[in-house]
Amino acid sequence: MRHRVSSSLTMGITARPPPGGTCTQSSERRVAAMARGKQQGSADMLSDAGTGRLTMGGGDVGAARERSRRRRLWTLFLLLLLPAAYLWGRLISGDPLDIFDLSLPSIDPMLLIPALFFLALIAVLVGSTIGAGRSPHVTYRPEQIDVTLDDVKAIDPVKDDVVRSLNLFLAHKAFSSEMGGTPRRGLLFEGAPGTGKTHLAKAMAREAGVPFLFVSATSFQSMYYGATARKIRSYFKALRKAARQEGGAIGFIEEIDAIAMARGGLSMTAHPTTSSSSVMCCGGLEGLPTQYAAAAPGIVGGAQSGGLVRNLAGMTSEGVGGVVNELLVQMQSFDDPTGFQKLHTWFVDKLNLYLPAHRQLSRPVPPSTNVLVIAATNRADNLDPALLRPGRFDRRLTFEPPTKAGRRELIDFFLAKKAHHQELDAEEQRDSLASVTQGYTPVMIEHLFDEGLVNALRRGDQAMNRQDVERARLVEEVGLGQPVAYTEHEKELIATHEAGHAVTAWLVAPQRRLEVLTIIKRRDALGLLAHGDAEDVFTRSREEMTGLIRIAMGGQSAEELFFSDISTGPSGDLLYATNVAAQMVGAAGMTDTLISYAAVQGSALSDTNLVGRVLSDKDGRERVERILQEQKSHTRALLHENRHLVEALRDALTERHELIGREITDVLEEAQKRHRELLVDVRTSAAEGATTLGG
């Protein structure tokens, strides 16, 4: 019995957990569960960052902001605790503080006035010095920005990449701790004006829910030596401070090329001149050349050598170099210690002087600031190469004019907010607008509709129609019409010339879109035919290139057919055709030679553009001349067979002065229909006459 009891006691003692064991195990389980939950949360966050879009203020940025908010509340509580305890202590002791019984010390005015004067003088001197180095940025809060990522249209590839960068910005801690990666710290937006660089940056700041520090690069510049670098330091200091307070901050520098041009003696590209691999690029010839006297590759100042732009023209000043150096340092030194940490470090260093090596106090680690710097420029190739390396600008995104699908999306977006007639709601009308606005940027499309609304007001309407938009486009692309009192001969000559162009285009290039045919003087053109591709194209075939030459020759051929003479009008057409033919001969290998004149270096021919190289060579000049003569002969024969079309279009132009879009093709189709009916009548009459004679 005793043994049994002893055994039970022993068993009871053995089964009893040690004091605090249950609490310790449960605490460990809670810690493990929290760790698993945190790890799962980080995994979910990274999954969303890779495939979706993190919400505003979400991820690590939202958590850091909440911690900063609580820290500020605790700081405020502690700061108010001491005066509150003092006031309550006096109240409890029966001696409350009466703020209405406070009296200021009396000071002799003869002493006060000089003291105030010198204090004001010191404030002015110190204030001017401090103000010269003050950051010129403007801070926008998310609620002050009315642009969202849903408002960004027609740049889907760039937008998708930006969303990924934004997700990494919002989940920067999870990306670093769980995956060991380094989030992008800088994005460089390059592209033509009006392609949406600033628009997208504002949408990023709204989506991220963090402060947006906007600054123009020109506002950093100062007349005082060294003040520009001080302003740059102040800007990045403000950026880091905002990031610590809000969990993150986005800085946007507009036109950064104003302060970041390549320093003297450096190549203005971040890529090496040689590489172990080579890339073969397909060059697309879009339309006819827009520049006929561009600097040749390889020459000083505009140089392209092997596809890389180089700064060989001269050295930059020491001041500019110092500004670039400061910008480089600041973009690499985001994680700077705060003022309190600097003071803490100073005290620790002083104490460590008296402590042995194994008793040294650890210094505070600078906090990691979540900063994303975005810069926009139209001249990215002229920036200093050190800026374009990873760690500063990690991503270089190119903004290009939207494609036809993108333009259609923009047209739908803008017309939803602008007054217009029902005809512009038709699918074919919007598709047509998307076609005729090839090369337009988003800003240009919006401006086109604004000008259409202005035209509607001029005719007394409060909603625009298609004609209003077309008139606005014609003014934007060609210029305002300048009525000129032509003589009757000039009027007929110009109308015949332009009709020759239009008929040739309608016959040899049915895939092209006839937009405007006019004999109203605009800028330097007495008359013109505006025509373009029905769809966006990026390459041209030999047949298309010869078709363009024939269209250019249509005006001169029509003059010869109807007047047996030629005027000075075709001079621009010949320039046009010569450039196309030179491209065919010297660059595209569309004749009996495969030699590329663009490859000529280190000779007299390399000191000019492609057309000059081709025409300076005897064989090349002969090939160009042969192409032009052959296509002119073909065009003259074509117009001779279709004189009725030229006559009909000439008469319509003489009467109406300007034809737009379908008005051109309607005249041609009607003339073709009448001609066929006339041929049928003639053949019928001939057949009846033959029958009568036979009878």
192 three-class SS: coil
Query: Would you list the domain boundaries of the chain?
Result: 138-270+310-338+367-399, 404-477, 490-678
Q: For residue 171, which phi and psi values (nearest 5 degrees)? A: -115, 40
Q: How far is CA 678 from CA 26, 143, 507, 570, 672, in A?
A: 103, 71, 20, 33, 10
Q: How far is CA 128 from CA 11, 224, 228, 234, in A?
A: 85, 11, 14, 15
pLDDT at 9 over 50: no
Select from 238, 248, 252 the least CA-distant residue to 370: 248
Pairing relation of β-strands 512-518 and 528-533?
Answer: antiparallel
471, exposed or middle or buried, with CB in 10 Å at 0-12, 13-18, 19+?
buried
Q: What is the pLDDT of residue 636?
A: 94
pLDDT at 26 over 60: no
pLDDT at 114 over 60: yes
Q: What is the pLDDT of residue 686?
A: 60
Domain formed by 138-270+310-338+367-399, architecture:
3-Layer(aba) Sandwich (3.40)
Specify the length of the chain in residues. 695
326 an active-site residue? no
How far apart CA 33 and CA 30 sit, in angstroms, is 5
pLDDT at 624 over 90: yes
Out of 207, 246, 254, 498, pick the active-site residue: 498
Of the options 3.40.50.2000, 1.10.287.70, 1.10.8.60, 3.30.70.1450, the CATH number for the domain spanning 404-477:
1.10.8.60
Among 155-169, 267-281, 535-549, 642-656, which is the least confidently predicted range? 267-281
Q: What is the pLDDT of residue 184?
A: 81
Cβ neighbors of 312 (< 8 A, separation 6 or more) are 300, 301, 303
Q: How confident is the model at residue 268 (pLDDT cuts 50, 70, 90)?
A: very low
pLDDT tens digits for 59-103?
A: 677 777 778 788 888 888 888 888 888 888 878 887 777 777 767
Q: What is the pLDDT of residue 415?
A: 93
State the Cα torsion 663-558-544-444 to the nearest 10°. Answer: -50
327, exposed or middle or buried, with CB in 10 Å at 0-12, 13-18, 19+?
buried
pLDDT tens digits for 193-229?
A: 888 898 998 888 888 888 889 999 888 887 777 788 8
Select from 417, 436, 415 the least CA-distant residue to 425: 415
| Alpha carbon of residue 245 to chain centroid | 30
Q: What is the pLDDT of residue 311?
A: 41
pLDDT at 145 over 70: yes
Find tokens 């204090």 and name the residue: 119
425 three-class SS: helix
Q: How far is CA 271 from CA 81, 275, 301, 381, 389, in A?
A: 60, 9, 19, 11, 9
pLDDT at 307 over 80: no
The DSSP secondary structure of 269-315, one letter per residue, reads -SS-S--SS----PPP--SS-S-SSPPPTTSTTS-EETTEE---S-P
Select from 307, 290, 289 the least CA-distant residue to 298: 307
- b/e string for 171-205 if b means 16 or more Cβ within 10 A? bbbbbeeeeeeebbbbbbbbbeebbbbbbbbbbbb
The DSSP secondary structure of 508-560, one letter per residue, reads H-TTEEEEEEE-SEETTBSSEEEEEESS--S---HHHHHHHHHHHHHHHHHHH
Cβ neighbors of 307 (< 8 A, separation 6 or more) are none
Q: What is the pLDDT of residue 244?
A: 85
Q: What is the pLDDT of residue 690?
A: 59
* Mean residue pLDDT across the chain: 78
- b/e string for 519-532 if b means 16 or more Cβ within 10 A? bbbbeebbbbbbbb
pLDDT tens digits for 334-352?
A: 567 777 788 888 888 889 8
Longest dimension (CA), the chain: 152
How far apart CA 598 and CA 611 sit, in angstroms, is 10
Among 312-321, 383-392, 625-634, which is the least confidently predicted range? 312-321
Fold for 490-678, please state it. Answer: Methane Monooxygenase Hydroxylase; Chain G, domain 1 (1.20.58)
The DSSP secondary structure of 94-156, one letter per residue, reads T----GGG--PPP--HHHHHHHHHHHHHHHHHHHHHHHHTS---EEE-GGG----GGG--S-H
Q: What is the pLDDT of residue 62?
A: 72
Q: What is the pLDDT of residue 202?
A: 87
Which helix (H) or strand (E) covers residue 6, if one does?
helix 2-15
Among 102-106, 512-516, 529-533, which is the least confidently predicted range? 102-106
pLDDT at 405 over 80: yes
Q: How confident is the model at residue 104 (pLDDT cuts 50, 70, 90)?
A: low
Higher local confidence (pLDDT), 107 or 622: 622
- Tokens in use for 278? 């080579």
- Tokens in use for 144? 């002050």
pLDDT tens digits for 422-443?
A: 999 989 889 888 888 888 999 9
Q: What is the pLDDT of residue 450?
A: 94
How far apart CA 149 and CA 155 sit, in angstroms, is 11
pLDDT tens digits for 540-565?
A: 888 999 999 999 999 999 999 999 98
Written as one letter, the residue type at 15 is A
Rounded average pLDDT over 128-132: 69
